[in-house]
Amino acid sequence: MSTSATTMDRAAPRRFDGGGPRAFLHRLGHGDEVAHVLTLTFAAGILLLTSGLVYELWVNSHLSRAKFGWLFFWTRTWDPIFDNFGAAPFIYGTLVTSIVSLVIAVPLGLAAAIFLSELAPRRMSDTISFLIDLLAAVPSVIYGLLGIFIVVPLMRTTVGPILIGSLGHVPVLGKFFKGPNYGVGFLTAGVVLAIMVVPFIISVSREVLLTVPREQREAALALGATRWEATWKVVVPWARTGILGSVFLALARALGETMAVTMVIGNDPKIAASLFAPGYTIAAVIANEFTEATGDLYLSALIELGLVLFLMTFILNGLARLLIVATERGGGHPS
Amino acid sequence: MTEDNFNTMRKMLVVPFLLFALAATAGAQSGSPLLLNAAGATFPYPIYSKWFDVYHTAHPNVQINYQSIGSGGGIRQLLAGTVDFGASDGPMTDDQLAQSKVKILHFPTVLGADVPSYNISGVTGELNFTQKALSGIYLGTITKWNDPEIAKANPGVNLPGEDIVVVHRSDGSGTTYIWTDFLSKASDDWKNKVGKGTSVNWPVGLGGKGNEGVSGLVKQTPNSIGYIELIYAVQNNIPYGKVQNADGKFVKADLAGVTAAAGSLKDMPEDFRVSITNAPGAKSYPISSFTWLLIPAQISDAAKRDAIKDFLKWMLADGQKFNEGLSYAQLPKTVIGKESKAISLIQ
């Protein structure tokens, strides 16, 4: 959305700089005007698509919004039989799984990207990057199967008992690592999501790190920095806007993921502190219940969930932009 | 919004178009057959697609396109008038019928049943489940496998004192409708607190997507129990337990037991909107249900009307022979007779 806005802001003044029909024909002859109109149309199309989507969600969620109002955000019940709907467990599940996935994927992805761009031989780096880009194209149901057959049993028999046995006794932190451990739940969903989003982080971050000018590294080394210091204190800060961008791309994918999540999260709309408890996410419940939703209010509530997910994505993206602006102001960024 | 929603939406949009395009091409070759559009339940989809295919081969001038988009979608499309007829795993409610501009008739087509499958460490034999045990387990009031309610029906079985892990369907489904309909009859607590429907507010348990999701969770999770469709259990050789019926007998689900349950109904209502869970009779399996075609009582297009009526007649006679091959139970003779008379209500 904001991309299209920028395009228009930049493009708008151009329209009036020439003036006159002759100038217009001249530009038309050179294809400038055509390109301008075409790109503007496509950019406006994105805006139209987004607002159309929000409009549809808004209109079709009317029944549910009228009945539950703001309570929809706080209610913990989801009862299609007695027509009582609340989004709280789904919002919680969506946030928790996304956060867990980022906590795992960001350090992993960033480390891999640094290795590929700074340390690995170029040919090796290109080969691995090619494979990573392939990973990003794997359908989510495949990741879901991977989750069911590998992550879930591993979580139930090995990882879960170890975490519960060790971290479970630590005060405060222990709350997040309590049994019973079914193998499916927030943590498993977060792990599968992390596996899914890590290729995005690696791929984008590596590209961004590679664009950091050679002189920056050389200057740091000339000043007596070790190779790691040059990388961590000069190259990474230079590229941090792009790296943050990759993280938010990953977050967006994690927030909206449906299939892989529903296969491993346990699909139980409850709010529990323990990461081993089963949960539910917004995208998963919509996909699961939409086809058989017979009641009008029921359908409306599901559509309102869609609206809530859109709102969450919107807010998180807004926060992301604020964060980027803040880090740019923080100094150190080249411009 | 998400890949899968997008895929579902795309399927909903693209598949009918493709089918339409295919049908149109086929029509150009064989002198434009009459095209009937239908949508609804996914549970009977295998038998419906077989029927529509065989019927089309025998009657090349009629082509029925069925989209298995779910019962809810089928009812909505029927009410919106975008399909010629619908299909549903649960009967339409009075509210829904009131929304329709024309009267809608229910025609039972085949029978389905749910079975309890379980995975208990150290237990290999077939377990007996009383109605109280199943409702207690799903309500969360029975939490251990060695609970007296389970143990008394299974003398000699060494049940462990472990927590029961309850598994249910996470996607809206006719299978859930049958299961919760049964639990509503087995327990007043269930009826008042949870109720019956294609999705409910489960008091306890994990959700698995589809029969494969539930049976996968049960297979992987020690000391778990989950309900799956009889067809799915039979085709995949998944063992399941016996359930106590209304006469107090423990019955193992099979196609004959399901047909027996449907045949035991003394007073089949005129509109066929009836639940056959917990039906009387020593042989009746208690967790089974009809699935219905939803057909408007007034069809203005004479050609379509005749085609639908003819298909219904064929379905009740020849069509039923395909049922058992696909593990669906046949309709009992009494129901077939009654339905044959009801066809004349379509005008």
In chain A, the residue whose alpha carbon lies closest to the alpha carbon of B2 is: A256
Interface contact A294-B207, CB threshold 8 A? no
In chain B, the residue whose alpha carbon lies closest to the alpha carbon of A181 is: B221
The strand pairing partners of A85, in sequence order, are: A78
Closest CA to A258 of A133, A94, A104, A100: A94
Interface contact B209-A267, CB threshold 8 A? yes
- Smallest Cβ–Cβ distance between B198 and the set A152, A180, A292 belongs to A292
Residue B325 has pLDDT above 80, yes or no: yes
Residue A73 has pLDDT above 50, yes or no: yes
Determine the average pLDDT of the residues in B83-104. 90
In chain B, the residue whose alpha carbon lies closest to the alpha carbon of A264 is: B208
Residue A197 has pLDDT above 50, yes or no: yes
Residue A53, pLDDT score: 94
Interface contact B2-A184, CB threshold 8 A? no
The strand pairing partners of B106, in sequence order, are: B294
- Compare B293 and A327 and report the one with higher pLDDT: B293
Average pLDDT, chain B: 88
Which residues in chain B are closer than 8 Å to A156, comparing Cβ atoms? 220-221
Residue B17, pLDDT score: 52
Interface contact B207-A266, CB threshold 8 A? yes
Interface contact A294-B72, CB threshold 8 A? yes
Residue B28, pLDDT score: 44
* HEC letters along chain A: CHHHHHHHHHHHHHHHHHCCHHHHHHHHHCCHHHHHHHHHHHHHHHHHHHHHHHHHHHHHCHHHHHHHCCHHHHCCCEECCCCEECCHHHHHHHHHHHHHHHHHHHHHHHHHHHHHHHHCCHHHHHHHHHHHHHHHCCCHHHHHHHHHHHHHHHHHHHHHHHHHHHHHHCCCHHHHCCCCCCCCCHHHHHHHHHHHHHHHHHHHHHHHHHCCCHHHHHHHHHCCCCHHHHHHHHHHHHCHHHHHHHHHHHHHHHHHCCHHHHHHCCCCCCCCCCCCCCCCCHHHHHHHHCCCCCCHHHHHHHHHHHHHHHHHHHHHHHHHHHHHHHHHHCCCCCC
Residue A261, pLDDT score: 95
Residue B189 has pLDDT above 50, yes or no: yes
Determine the average pLDDT of the residues in A198-205. 94
Contact call for residues A182 and B165 (beta carbons, < 8 A): yes
Which residues in chain B are closer than 8 Å to A307, comparing Cβ atoms? none
Which residues in chain B are closer than 8 Å to A57, comparing Cβ atoms? none
Which residues in chain B are closer than 8 Å to A293, comparing Cβ atoms? 72, 172, 199
Residue A164 has pLDDT above 80, yes or no: yes
Which residues in chain A are closer than 8 Å to B72, comparing Cβ atoms? 290-294, 299
Range of weakest confidence among B19-28, B163-172, B212-221: B19-28
Which residues in chain A are closer than 8 Å to B11, comparing Cβ atoms? none
- Residues B5-54 have pLDDT tens digits of 545 555 555 555 555 555 444 444 446 789 999 999 888 898 999 999 99
Residue A46, pLDDT score: 94
pLDDT band of residue A19 (cuts 50, 70, 90) is: low
- Residues A235-270 have pLDDT tens digits of 999 998 899 989 988 999 999 999 999 999 999 999
Provide the residue count of chain B. Answer: 347
Provide the CATH number for the domain formed by B113-263 in this structure: 3.40.190.10
Residue A230 has pLDDT above 60, yes or no: yes
Range of weakest confidence among A113-122, A201-210, B320-329: B320-329
Which residues in chain A are closer than 8 Å to B170, comparing Cβ atoms? 262, 267, 284, 288
Residue B194, pLDDT score: 94
Alpha helices by DSSP H, listed for B113-171, are 131-139, 148-151
Residue A179, pLDDT score: 80
Classified as helix, coil or strand, B200 is coil
Interface contact A153-B220, CB threshold 8 A? yes
Which chain B residues have any C-beta within 8 angstroms of a chain A C-beta?
1-5, 8, 42, 69-73, 75-76, 90, 93, 96, 163, 165, 170-174, 194-202, 205-209, 213, 216-217, 220-221
Which residues in chain B are closer than 8 Å to A289, comparing Cβ atoms? 171-172, 199
Give percent above pLDDT 90 in chain B.
59
Residue B3 has pLDDT above 50, yes or no: no
- Compare A179 and B35 and report the one with higher pLDDT: B35
Count of A-B CB contacts under 8 Å:
123
- Compare A6 and B114 and report the one with higher pLDDT: B114
- Every domain of chain B with CATH number 3.40.190.10 lies at 35-110+289-345, 113-263
Give percent above pLDDT 90 in chain A.
68
- Smallest Cβ–Cβ distance between B170 and the set A140, A267, A290 belongs to A267
Interface contact B217-A184, CB threshold 8 A? yes
Q: Starting at the edge strand that comes first in sequence, how are the strands of the sheet with B165-169 ordered?
A: B62-67, B34-40, B85-88, B288-296, B104-119, B224-229, B165-169, B206-208
- Residues B87-97 have pLDDT tens digits of 998 888 888 89
Which residues in chain B are closer than 8 Å to A184, comparing Cβ atoms? 206, 217
- Smallest Cβ–Cβ distance between A288 and the set B42, B172, B174 belongs to B172
Residue B31, pLDDT score: 60
Provide the CATH number for the domain formed by B35-110+289-345 in this structure: 3.40.190.10
Cβ of residue A50 closer than 8 Å to a chain B Cβ: no
Range of weakest confidence among A74-78, A96-100, B41-45: B41-45
Range of weakest confidence among A32-36, B12-16, B258-262: B12-16
Residue A330, pLDDT score: 56
pLDDT band of residue B112 (cuts 50, 70, 90) is: confident
Residue B43, pLDDT score: 84
pLDDT band of residue B234 (cuts 50, 70, 90) is: confident
Cβ of residue A75 closer than 8 Å to a chain B Cβ: no
In chain A, the residue whose alpha carbon lies closest to the alpha carbon of B218 is: A182
Interface contact A80-B200, CB threshold 8 A? yes
- Smallest Cβ–Cβ distance between B199 and the set A183, A266, A289 belongs to A289
Cβ of residue A56 closer than 8 Å to a chain B Cβ: no
Which residues in chain B are closer than 8 Å to A80, comparing Cβ atoms? 197-201
